[in-house]
Amino acid sequence: MGDKVFDRSNSVYVKNVPRKGRGVFSNISFNVGEVIERAPTWGFDDAVAKLLNDTELFEYYFVREHMQPMKELIARYVVFGFISIVNHSINPNTKIVWADEESGTWASIVAIKNIEVDQEITHHYTNIRAYPRGIKFVE
């Protein structure tokens, strides 16, 4: 088990994936609609994004789609949890669900397909076009 790092509930674990780096895998099965993880976030604006875009953090923050117009549009978030290292797929088995609450904005990763034990958990990155050309996404 030395090559796997488990979450607190032992429902998911992280291990290295050839040509991808770290990936998140299921340690239990998940059915469609089940929440795999719910994590707090830190939202930031365009000015901060310009600073982060020149760092390695760029690859780990989320761009939130379908935001309703608000006074201060915060559409980028650092997500604190395993969600932040879930790999991209053009055929994902999860999606990110956002919740704005009194305690802040939360991100959940929810199964959109049944997921078996030891299957990689993936989602579709919404900001692929913003990545540098040198980054190649592997299925």
Domain boundaries along the sequence of the chain: 5-124
- pLDDT of 137 > 60? The answer is no
Q: What is the pLDDT of residue 27?
A: 95
Tell which wins on pLDDT, 137 or 80. 80
Max CA separation in the chain (angstroms)? 48
Q: What percent of the chain has pLDDT over 70?
A: 77
- Please give the model's pTM, rounded to 2 decimal places: 0.79
Tokens of 64: 């939130």
Q: What is the pLDDT of residue 39?
A: 93
Q: What is the pLDDT of residue 1?
A: 47
Taking residues 44-53, what's their average pLDDT?
83
Mean pLDDT rounded to a whole number for the chain: 82
Which CATH number is associated with domain 5-124? 2.170.270.10
Task: Say how far apart CA 29 and CA 1 lie, in whole Å.
Answer: 19
Tokens of 107: 């991100």
How does DSSP classify residue 60? G
- pLDDT of 48 > 50? The answer is yes
> Are the C-beta atoms of 127 and 52 separated by less than 8 Å?
no
H or E element at residue 77: strand 76-79
